[in-house]
Every structure is written in structure tokens, then in C-alpha cells.
């Protein structure tokens, strides 16, 4: 079981290499750019010649801003803030976030940690990302693991809203049964104790990083179960 993902990754790389570099196109596939962001293999822009890179890696360039449309139930646009071609990572920020005030996006429920493996590039989480949950609780919770999120929500019906981080260090027993999950999103944080809601929102505006050069074995359950609160409940 330990060996399997590596083998899959290797075959994945080979398969990608073959599909991304058909010998007909190399000459035309110059680096393009959107704003200040250089776009090159494996990514492409719509305006790049056909055959350069794979369509699943096509980014949208509008007004010098690069976005990646990802399917999260419905399509959701993520700004591509950074691409590290050395580390094979992209840093994505939800394009719907309001930079001027704390407002939490309500993503549809799905297995975030498997997301968006179902379609498109095999992005996967990398170290440092955790799943942030927004909880709505029946009573006030006083715990360093819960950060008051009431300033970020406009739901008068549930006055006790909290940020709650769940990662592989978190214990299910830390989840208070008087709460229910309202929203979830990936964030580059591993500990929210002592942070304010605006600290957390600032970090959300920094987005999260995903590794793009990994071939996922969709049938391997270990990719999807490692730190999902929903799966453990
Ligand atoms: C995009 O950036 C280029 C170069 O910096 C600039 O000339 C152009 O006006 C910008 N376009 C928009 C829509 O901002
Ligand atoms: C849940 O929160 C309530 C109110 O703060 C507290 O009384 C209760 O002990 C908590 N339960 C757990 C399991 O932490
Ligand atoms: C909510 O926002 C107000 C005004 O900015 C601030 O004074 C207050 O401390 C915030 N409350 C929390 C719990 O962050
Ligand atoms: C989280 O941060 C708090 C405050 O900075 C610190 O006291 C605590 O030890 C940290 N917890 C972990 C698990 O790192
Ligand atoms: C679900 C998943 O793939 N989680 C992984 C996120 O990244 C860390 C560090 O690379 C892994 O340990 C997790 O298994």
C-alpha cells in the first residue's frame, strides 16, 4: 500500500509527459503571460496554440488577472496568485472573497480533501493546508480552538459562529456537539489559537496552495480520508 501511490505517481508523470509534449508543438509553445504571471507548461491560456499543454490546465486571463475555473458543485473561480514551476504548486484565492470586509464563502459540501480530483488536473493539498470549518453553535463556546466568527457572518439566526480548524493534529472530541458545520474551506494555517477573525480572514485572502504535478489514484481511499471532519463524524 505504501508503494502504490509512488508507482501511480510515476506512471502519471509519464502519461502526462506524453500527453503534454506531443512532438508537433514544442516549437510554438513559448511562455505566455497574464499580468505579471508567466504561463507555461503544463498550464496554457486559451490563446496559446492548440496542442500546447493539456486543456484541463487551461487558465483564463481577463484584465491581467489569471483565474482557474474549478468545479465545486458549481464552477467557482479562483484567482491564480502564484505558480511555482520549481515546486509544482499553485496558490489560489477564491475570486468571490471581498477584500474590504470579512465575508465567508459558503462552499457546497463535498469532500474538500479529495477536491477537485474528480475532474481536471490532479491538484492535491500540500503541507500547511488545513480545512477551516465555520460552525454555528447553539451556545457560546469558550475554547482556544474556537475563534469567534460572528463579525464575518451575517446570519442573525445563529449568533454563535466560530472558526474551527481541523487538520491531522485535531481530535474529533474537540468538535462540540452543539455545533453544526456551515462552511468549509482550505487555508494555509495549522493553528488558530490566539488569532482574531480578521487574522483568519487575512490568511484566507492569501489563499491556499495545491500541488499540480501529481497523478492521483482516484480509487485509493487514503487520499480522501486523512483529515476530513465529515468523514470522522
Ligand atoms: C495589462 O497589462 C499590460 C502591461 O502591463 C497593460 O499595458 C494593459 O493596459 C493591462 N490591461 C488591463 C486591462 O489592465
Ligand atoms: C460544548 O460546549 C458547551 C458550552 O460551552 C459546554 O458546556 C460543553 O461541555 C461542550 N461539550 C464538549 C463535548 O466540549
Ligand atoms: C467585531 O468588529 C468590531 C468592529 O470592528 C470590533 O470592535 C470587535 O472587536 C470585533 N469582534 C470580534 C469578536 O472580533
Ligand atoms: C497554537 O498557538 C497557541 C498560541 O500561539 C499556542 O499556545 C499553542 O501551543 C499552539 N498549539 C499547537 C498545537 O501548536
Ligand atoms: C488528503 C491528503 O492528501 N492529505 C495530505 C495533505 O498533505 C500532507 C502533507 O503532504 C499529507 O500528509 C496528507 O496526507
Ligand 1 contact, 64 CB (< 6 A): yes
Q: Is residue 111 part of a domain?
A: yes
Domain that holds residue 80: 64-225
- Residues 103 and 132 placed together within one structural domain of the fold: yes
Ligand 3: residue of 151, 154, 162 to mutate (most ligand atoms within 8 A of CB) is 151
Question: How far away, in angstroms, is 151 Cα from ligand 3 center?
Answer: 6
Q: Which atom of ligand 4 has the smallest separation from the CA of 169?
A: 13
Are both 14 and 79 inside the same structural domain? no
Pair 84, 125 in one domain: yes
The confidence score (pLDDT) of residue 126 equals: 53
CB atoms within 10 A of CB 184: 24
Query: What is the residue whose three cell numbers read 466568527?
Result: 149
Residue 74, C-alpha cell as written in the block: 458549481
Domain tally, the chain: 2
For residues 139 and 68, membership in a common domain is answered with yes
Q: How far is CA 162 from the centre of its chain?
A: 21
Residue with CA at minimum distance from ligand 5 atom 14? 226
200 with 1: CB under 8 angstroms? no
Per-residue cell: 31: 511562455
Ligand 3 atom closest to the Cα of residue 197 is: 14
Q: What is the rounded CA–CA span in Å between residue 200 and residue 149?
A: 9
In short, whether 118's Cβ falls inside 6 Å of ligand 2 is: no
Q: Which three cell numbers stand for residue 153?
A: 457572518
- Per-residue model confidence as pLDDT tens for the chain (233 residues): 333 333 333 333 333 443 444 444 444 688 999 999 999 988 899 889 888 887 778 899 999 999 987 655 555 678 999 999 998 888 888 888 888 888 876 655 444 444 443 444 445 555 566 778 888 899 999 999 999 998 887 665 667 999 998 776 778 888 899 998 887 777 888 889 999 999 999 999 998 887 776 555 555 544 444 444 555 45
108 inside domain = yes
Cβ–ligand 5 distance for 188 under 6 Å, the answer: no
**Whole-prediction pTM:** 0.74
* 1 found inside a domain: no
C-alpha cell of 56? 484541463
- Cβ-Cβ contacts under 8 Å for 214 (sequence gap 6 or more): 9, 12, 88, 122, 123, 124
Q: What is the pLDDT of residue 226?
A: 41
Cα(119)–Cα(130) distance, integer angstroms: 22
List all residues whose CB is within 6 A of at least one atom of ligand 4: 169, 191, 193-194
Do 164 and 101 reside in the same domain of the chain? yes
Same domain, 32 and 77: no
Which of 141, 160, 172, when mutated, tests ligand 2's pocket best, judged by the most ligand atoms within 8 Å of its CB?
Answer: 141
Cα pseudo-dihedral 162, 168, 169, 170, rounded to 10? 30
Based on the fold, state whether residues 209 and 124 are members of the same structural domain: yes
In a domain, 233, yes or no: no
Determine whether the shortest distance from the Cβ of 148 to ligand 3 is under 6 A: yes
Is 86 in the same domain as 122?
yes
* Structure confidence at residue 23 (pLDDT): 41
DSSP state of 107: P
Give the domain-ending residue among 19, 42, 60.
Answer: 60
Pair 49, 102 in one domain: no
In a domain, 2, yes or no: no
**H helices of 25-132, where?**
none
Amino acid at each position: 500500500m505504501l508503494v502504490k501511490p509512488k508507482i501511480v505517481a510515476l506512471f502519471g508523470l509519464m502519461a502526462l509527459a506524453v500527453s503534454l509534449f506531443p512532438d508537433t508543438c514544442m516549437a510554438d509553445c513559448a511562455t505566455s503571460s497574464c499580468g505579471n504571471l508567466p504561463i507555461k507548461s503544463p498550464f496554457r491560456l486559451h490563446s496559446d496554440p492548440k496542442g500546447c499543454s493539456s486543456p484541463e490546465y487551461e487558465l483564463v486571463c481577463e484584465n491581467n488577472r489569471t483565474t482557474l475555473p474549478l468545479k465545486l458543485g458549481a464552477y467557482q473561480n479562483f484567482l491564480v496568485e502564484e505558480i511555482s514551476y520549481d515546486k509544482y504548486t499553485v496558490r489560489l484565492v477564491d475570486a468571490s472573497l471581498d477584500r474590504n470586509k470579512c465575508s465567508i464563502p459558503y462552499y457546497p459540501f463535498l469532500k474538500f480533501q479529495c477536491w477537485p480530483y474528480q475532474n481536471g488536473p490532479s491538484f492535491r493539498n500540500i503541507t500547511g493546508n488545513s480545512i477551516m470549518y465555520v460552525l454555528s453553535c447553539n451556545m457560546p463556546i469558550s475554547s482556544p480552538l474556537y475563534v469567534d466568527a460572528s463579525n464575518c457572518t451575517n446570519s442573525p439566526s445563529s449568533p454563535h459562529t466560530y472558526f474551527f480548524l481541523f487538520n491531522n493534529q485535531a481530535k474529533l472530541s474537540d468538535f462540540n456537539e452543539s455545533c453544526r458545520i456551515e462552511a468549509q474551506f482550505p487555508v494555509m494555517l495549522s493553528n488558530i489559537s490566539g488569532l482574531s477573525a480578521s487574522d483568519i480572514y487575512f490568511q484566507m485572502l492569501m489563499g491556499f496552495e495545491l500541488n499540480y504535478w501529481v497523478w492521483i489514484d482516484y480509487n485509493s481511499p487514503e487520499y480522501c480520508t486523512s483529515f476530513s471532519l465529515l468523514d470522522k463524524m
